[in-house]
């Protein structure tokens, strides 16, 4: 608003030239300011030039009244120029340098009035000067230059401090004094000097002068400070806010008593109600719920206040007191009150549900649906309510109840209708996300019933269009998973069929595979698994996953088929794109089949495939390198050995031979970093392979072919090299001593002897084998006995081998500290038999020597040490050998054998009668022989 020019008397000629010159400079600068335009940049030097001139002019104080009056005129001209600039340019931002330059000019104008001081003819000069500082300070405050604003307000206060308020009658001037204190207080509050701010407001109470408008202005400032204090987190902020708001309430009530107009009364009542609402909010923040209800009661009864926030405050207070019924009444009253905005109503519902919990879910649903009947509700509000009812995860009955209520809420046709159209697309996506996440939480908790229901409801918010078909297919797939978890296989199949119609992919094919598995339809599952490979997004990982699922369902044929298909992807090469290495797949196949009886042939097939792939790819490529490769190689070798052992125990000797043969091949594999093969295990495997081949021959009663015999001999030759190397060592390490047992060398020798005999080899080869065994440190007399007995009988008997083996065995038994006379007697009988058969009568002395040796063994033994039956056999057979010489008249030979029989019989208990008969016969034979001799001499 422009300030009118004030007339001035002519300057007295007594003024100094310097004053005139400075005033002229000042006027020139102000003229420049009057010519300024907001369209052009303001010169930044203007305010500093004027201030420099004022500084020079201040040295000439005191001024005459005419100079003072001229300064006043110039000040008003500058002020009016600033007003014109501001009006033309509009409100400037705080960062606008042009706006700040204008404010500087305003402050220079105020400083000019302060320099001039009081002027005769100007009414209330101090108040006018103070008003300039007050208005400039307000602008500095708006620009958030609080230091400059405070400086202006303080200068204005100093100018009015000496005034007697009681003598001021002009309402505008009294209002200026009040506004100055309020503005200074506001600046102090903004710079966090709150004690000064409150003190200044308290001083302003003396300036009210009974005006309702003054009471309202001061009360509003108290209320503003109270609201600001309420925003503080600390507990002291609540107390300070309550104190300030009570001051404001007191001022509003006093203002009502002084109000003279209807508008003034209504304004103060509105301010009083607003203050009471904030006081109620303060009490609510301080959890003083009774006080909240008192404030609301005053507002409703006294002034009939129907502000929308009152039911919210009342509801929260009742909730704080635990009176949920009263809180529900307040909440329901908002449904009827059409003045309550949607945001407030939704906020109240959220607060009610937070306090009441699961028990309030049903009420929340009913209230929201009631709100739909009353007015238009946005889709965003429905999302907020659904999210609040669903909650943020959790488990137990409470979570299930909330999910059920949310499902009923979102499936209501009126709620679904809120999300129709493209305008609600964002809210529709949000609602789908809320329901989907809730369903996913329950799915993770294995609550498939609730999960399925929530997934179904989320489908209500997926439009039937091309853009959302993938999302719909995804929904059908997760519903399939839920029903799979509930073992509702028919429903699961319906959902996956729908998903496949919309988006046929590998996920659908795999879920159908799972359904067939759970239906125990293995053939269909295998067919579905094979069909997965035709899907455009198929990867071999799904075959591995199918095998895992089949194993979990104990569907061994399906698991084997899946892994076999996986192997088909690696034909002729390693599997760089496979989910796992070929060796792991084969190992898994063998492990699976090992848990099912009767699968030896399948296991053998995959073991052979592993052996074939070793030769095709190389050991390091197939098994892997370093420790990993060694573990894999050892696993196949050990399991081949174990399967061979089990097959042998079950008398499946053909499979036994195959497994041991594979074990020898696996043990002979040398990986990178190893010096040599596991020769001991190779030797054992080869030996047992041949042993199983011989056992299978006997079992099926079909002789081995010559080619098979030759193959077996080659295997034994490999084993023999290792055994020869080991047996030649003077000292074995602990592992070798544990691995090589005496019976291994015996089995090798026994089988080699048998097979060499089949090829009509000379007996020297067989004899050399037995001699080698007999000279080894692994030789055992019992093993030699078995070799000797075998060599002494049968169509392929070898008397040389038998004689050597039995003789060595007899020596070993006799040299024992505790001789086994049962075996000694058996050996003696067999040696006598072999010699009798193969040497005949031409070597009678050799047979006699064996009888003699047996007799000498018996000498000195206690009764029963030497087997009685064997001793009787020796005595009787020796006696019977004299029969032929007696018949032939060979008296010396007859006497030799009869005497041997008598000698042996003398050592056998229970042959006394036989011995007396023998002695009588010997005596008679001697007489006859003597008589014959005498007759011969006489003749």
Predicted local distance difference test score (pLDDT) of residue 635: 94
Over residues 43-72, mean pLDDT: 77
Neighbours of 65 (CB within 10 A): 15
Over residues 108-117, mean pLDDT: 79
Give yes or no for residue 430 having a pLDDT over 90: yes
Predicted local distance difference test score (pLDDT) of residue 478: 94
Over residues 497-513, mean pLDDT: 92
At CA 423, angle to CA 418 and CA 427, rounded to 5?
A: 60
Instruction: Please write down the HEC assignment for all residues of 647-701.
Output: HHHCCCHHHHHHHHHHHHHHHCCCCCCCCCCCHHHHHHHHHHHHHHHHHHHHHHC
Give yes or no for residue 885 having a pLDDT over 90: no
- Out of 107-116, 485-494, 534-543, least confident range: 107-116
Predicted local distance difference test score (pLDDT) of residue 458: 92
Predicted local distance difference test score (pLDDT) of residue 451: 92
> Treating both helix axes as pointing N-terminal to C-terminal, what angle do 489-502 and 506-518 enclose, rounded to 10 degrees?
160
Give yes or no for residue 178 having a pLDDT over 70: yes
- Out of 194-198, 304-308, 750-754, 904-908, least confident range: 304-308
Give yes or no for residue 364 having a pLDDT over 80: no
- pLDDT per residue over 196-222, tens digit each? 888 888 888 887 777 778 888 888 888
Predicted local distance difference test score (pLDDT) of residue 48: 78
Q: How confident is the model at residue 93 (pLDDT cuts 50, 70, 90)?
A: very low
Rounded CA separation 449/400 (Å):
10
Predicted local distance difference test score (pLDDT) of residue 740: 64
Predicted local distance difference test score (pLDDT) of residue 483: 93
112 versus 116: the higher-pLDDT residue is 112
830 versus 42: the higher-pLDDT residue is 830
Q: Is the pTM for the entire model greater than 0.85?
A: no
- pLDDT per residue over 641-679, tens digit each? 999 999 999 999 999 999 999 999 999 888 876 656 688
Residue in the structure block whose two tokens are 């009974």? 210
Q: How confident is the model at residue 853 (pLDDT cuts 50, 70, 90)?
A: confident
Rounded CA separation 646/654 (Å):
12
Residue in the structure block whose two tokens are 């699922």? 549
Predicted local distance difference test score (pLDDT) of residue 640: 93
Q: How confident is the model at residue 452 (pLDDT cuts 50, 70, 90)?
A: very high
The most distant pair of C-alpha atoms in the chain lies apart, rounded to whole Å, by: 217
Contact 386, 409 (CB under 8 A): yes
Predicted local distance difference test score (pLDDT) of residue 488: 93
5, two tokens = 């020019």
Choose among 867, 870, 872: nearest CA to 906: 872
Q: How confident is the model at residue 824 (pLDDT cuts 50, 70, 90)?
A: confident
Give yes or no for residue 899 having a pLDDT over 60: yes
- Average of per-residue pLDDT values in the chain: 81
- Out of 289-298, 788-797, 807-816, least confident range: 788-797
Quick one: DSSP state of residue 625? S
Predicted local distance difference test score (pLDDT) of residue 96: 54
Percent of the chain beyond pLDDT 70? Answer: 86
- Half-sphere exposure of residue 291: CA atoms within 13 angstroms, side-chain side: 14
Predicted local distance difference test score (pLDDT) of residue 519: 92
Give yes or no for residue 612 having a pLDDT over 70: yes
Predicted local distance difference test score (pLDDT) of residue 763: 61
Predicted local distance difference test score (pLDDT) of residue 346: 73
Predicted local distance difference test score (pLDDT) of residue 335: 66
Q: How far is CA 901 from CA 605, 873, 898, in A?
A: 65, 10, 5
Give yes or no for residue 234 having a pLDDT over 60: no
Choose among 103, 21, 22: nearest CA to 58: 22
Percent of the chain beyond pLDDT 90? Answer: 16
Query: Cβ neighbours of residue 84 under 8 Å, at least 6 residues apart?
Result: none
Residue in the structure block whose two tokens are 């489908």? 459
Q: How confident is the model at residue 102 (pLDDT cuts 50, 70, 90)?
A: confident
Classify 43 as helix, strand or coil.
Answer: coil
Give yes or no for residue 192 having a pLDDT over 80: yes
Q: How confident is the model at residue 932 (pLDDT cuts 50, 70, 90)?
A: low
Rounded CA separation 542/320 (Å):
56
Which H or E run includes 175? helix 171-190
Predicted local distance difference test score (pLDDT) of residue 575: 42
Q: How confident is the model at residue 330 (pLDDT cuts 50, 70, 90)?
A: confident
Residue in the structure block whose two tokens are 């009661």? 297
Q: How confident is the model at residue 587 (pLDDT cuts 50, 70, 90)?
A: very high
DSSP3 helix / strand / coil % (the chain, rounded to 5) = 75, 0, 25
Predicted local distance difference test score (pLDDT) of residue 523: 93
868, two tokens = 């009685």
Over residues 710-734, mean pLDDT: 74
Q: How confident is the model at residue 937 (pLDDT cuts 50, 70, 90)?
A: low
- pLDDT per residue over 695-705, tens digit each? 888 888 888 88
- Alpha-helix residue ranges (DSSP H) falling in 303-360: 309-320, 324-336, 342-356
117: left (phi over 0), alpha (psi -120 to 50) or beta: left
- Out of 160-164, 337-341, 527-531, least confident range: 337-341
Over residues 279-307, mean pLDDT: 79
304 versus 725: the higher-pLDDT residue is 725
């Amino acid at each position: 608003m422009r300030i009118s020019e004030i007339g001035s008397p002519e300057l007295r000629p007594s003024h100094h030239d310097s004053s005139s010159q400075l005033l002229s400079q000042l006027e020139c600068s102000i003229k420049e300011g009057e010519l300024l335009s907001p369209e052009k940049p303001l010169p930044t030097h203007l305010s500093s030039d004027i201030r420099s001139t004022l500084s020079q002019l201040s040295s000439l104080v005191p001024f005459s009244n005419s100079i003072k009056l001229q300064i006043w005129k110039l000040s008003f001209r500058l002020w009016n120029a600033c007003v014109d600039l501001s009006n033309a340019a509009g409100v400037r931002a705080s960062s606008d340098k042009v706006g700040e330059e204008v404010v500087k000019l305003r402050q220079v104008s105020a400083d000019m009035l302060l320099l001039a001081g009081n002027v005769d003819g100007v009414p209330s000069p101090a108040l006018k000067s103070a008003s300039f500082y007050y208005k400039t300070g307000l602008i500095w405050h708006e620009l958030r230059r609080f230091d400059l604003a405070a400086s202006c307000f303080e200068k204005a206060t100093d100018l009015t401090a000496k005034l007697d308020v009681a003598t001021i009658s002009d309402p505008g001037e009294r209002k200026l004094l009040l506004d100055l204190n309020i503005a200074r207080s506001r600046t102090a509050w903004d710079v966090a000097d709150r004690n000064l701010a409150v003190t200044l407001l308290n001083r302003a109470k003396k300036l009210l002068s009974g005006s309702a408008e003054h009471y309202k202005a001061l009360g509003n400032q108290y209320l503003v400070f109270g609201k600001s204090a309420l925003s503080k987190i600390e507990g002291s902020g609540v107390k300070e806010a309550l104190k300030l708001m009570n001051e404001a309430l007191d001022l509003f009530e006093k203002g009502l008593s002084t109000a003279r107009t209807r508008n003034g009364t209504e304004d103060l009542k509105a301010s009083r109600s607003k203050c009471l609402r904030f006081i109620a909010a303060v009490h609510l923040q301080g959890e003083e719920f009774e006080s909240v209800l008192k404030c609301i009661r005053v507002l409703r009864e006294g002034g009939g206040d129907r502000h929308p926030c009152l039911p919210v405050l009342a509801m929260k207070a009742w909730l704080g007191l635990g009176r949920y019924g009263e809180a529900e009444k307040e909440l329901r009253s908002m449904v009827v009150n059409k003045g309550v905005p949607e945001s407030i109503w939704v906020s109240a519902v959220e607060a009610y549900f937070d306090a009441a919990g699961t028990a309030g879910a049903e009420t929340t649903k009913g209230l929201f649906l009631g709100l739909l009947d009353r007015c238009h509700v946005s889709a965003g509000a429905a999302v907020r309510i659904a999210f609040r009812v669903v909650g943020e995860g959790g488990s137990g009955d409470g979570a299930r109840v909330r999910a059920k209520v949310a499902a009923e809420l979102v499936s209501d046709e009126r709620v679904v209708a809120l999300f129709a159209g493209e305008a609600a697309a964002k809210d529709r996506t949000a609602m789908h996300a809320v329901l989907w996440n809730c369903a996913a939480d329950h799915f993770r908790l294995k609550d498939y019933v609730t999960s399925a229901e929530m997934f179904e409801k989320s489908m209500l918010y997926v439009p039937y269009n091309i853009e959302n078909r993938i999302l719909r297919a995804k929904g059908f797939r997760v519903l399939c998973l839920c029903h799979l978890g509930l073992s509702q296989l028919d429903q699961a199949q319906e959902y996956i069929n729908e998903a496949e119609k919309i988006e046929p992919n590998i996920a659908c094919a795999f879920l159908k595979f799972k359904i067939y598995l759970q239906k125990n339809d293995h053939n269909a599952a295998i067919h579905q698994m094979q069909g997965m490979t035709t899907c455009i997004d198929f990867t071999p990982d799904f075959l591995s996953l199918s095998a895992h699922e089949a194993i979990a369902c104990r569907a061994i044929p399906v698991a084997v088929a899946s892994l076999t298909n996986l192997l088909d992807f690696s034909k002729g090469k390693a599997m760089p794109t496979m989910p796992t290495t070929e060796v792991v797949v084969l190992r898994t196949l063998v492990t699976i089949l090992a848990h099912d009886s009767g699968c030896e042939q399948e296991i053998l097939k995959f073991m052979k495939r592993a052996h074939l792939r070793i030769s095709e790819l190389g050991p390091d490529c197939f098994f892997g390198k370093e420790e990993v490769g060694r573990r894999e190689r050892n696993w196949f070798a050990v399991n081949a050995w174990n399967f061979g052992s089990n097959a042998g125990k079950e008398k499946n000797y053909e499979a036994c031979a195959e497994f041991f043969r594979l074990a020898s091949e696996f043990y002979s594999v040398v990986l990178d970093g190893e010096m040599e093969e596991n020769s001991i295990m190779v030797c054992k495997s080869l030996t047992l392979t041949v042993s199983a081949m011989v056992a299978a021959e006997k079992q099926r009663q079909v002789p081995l072919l010559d080619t098979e015999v030759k193959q077996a001999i080659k295997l034994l030759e490999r084993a023999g090299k290792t055994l020869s190397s080991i047996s030649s060592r003077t000292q074995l390490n602990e592992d070798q001593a544990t691995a090589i047992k005496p019976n291994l060398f015996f089995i090798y020798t026994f089988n080699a002897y048998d097979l060499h005999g089949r090829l009509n080899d000379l007996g020297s080869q067989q004899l050399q084998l037995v001699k080698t065994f007999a000279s080894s440190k692994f030789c055992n007399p019992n093993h030699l006995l078995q070799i000797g007995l075998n060599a002494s009988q049968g169509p392929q008997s070898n008397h040389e081998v038998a004689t050597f083996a039995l003789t060595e065995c007899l020596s070993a038994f006799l040299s024992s500290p505790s001789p086994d006379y049962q075996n000694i007697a058996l050996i003696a009988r067999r040696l006598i038999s072999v010699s009798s058969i193969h040497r005949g009568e031409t070597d009678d002395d050799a047979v006699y020597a064996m009888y003699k040796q047996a007799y000498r063994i018996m000498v000195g033994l206690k009764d029963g040490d030497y087997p009685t039956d064997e001793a009787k056999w020796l005595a009787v057979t020796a006696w019977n050998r004299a029969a032929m010489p007696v018949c032939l008249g060979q008296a010396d030979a007859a006497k030799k054998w009869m005497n041997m029989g008598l000698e042996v019989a003398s050592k056998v208990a229970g042959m006394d009668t036989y011995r007396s008969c023998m002695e009588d016969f010997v005596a008679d034979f001697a007489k006859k022989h003597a008589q014959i001799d005498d007759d011969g001499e006489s003749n």
